[in-house]
């Protein structure tokens, strides 16, 4: 499991942070965009990361992820 610290703007426009835990990997591509990966297979772009994060929040929230940092890859 990988644990990421997610920085995002919530629906109110406030900057927030949260934690995302997943078996998938988040990588920054050459064009500096964040993408979600399952091994060597690209699963989706930033929108897929946002949907996964919203699922873990447990409620519907309009948000925009601005940065993701790997905290642990245990």
Encode pLDDT of 1-46 as tens digits.
Answer: 999 999 999 999 999 999 999 999 999 999 999 999 999 999 999 9
Number of structural domains the chain divides into: 1
Q: Which domain holds residue 12?
A: 2-72
Beta bridge partners of 64: 9
Q: How confident is the model at residue 59 (pLDDT cuts 50, 70, 90)?
A: confident
State how far the Cα of 58 lies from the Cα of 45, in Å rounded to an integer: 21
Report pLDDT for 63: 94
State how far the Cα of 55 lies from the Cα of 9, in Å rounded to an integer: 16
Tokens describing residue 26: 């988040």
Q: How confident is the model at residue 60 (pLDDT cuts 50, 70, 90)?
A: confident
State how far the Cα of 50 lies from the Cα of 56, in Å rounded to an integer: 10
């Amino acid at each position: 499991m990988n644990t990421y610290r997610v920085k995002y703007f919530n629906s109110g426009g406030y900057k927030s942070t949260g934690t995302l835990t997943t078996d998938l990997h988040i990588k920054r591509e050459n064009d500096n965009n964040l993408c979600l990966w399952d091994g060597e297979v690209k699963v989706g772009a930033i929108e897929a990361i946002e949907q996964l994060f919203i699922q873990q929040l447990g409620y519907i929230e309009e948000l925009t992820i601005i940065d993701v940092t790997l905290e642990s890859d245990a």
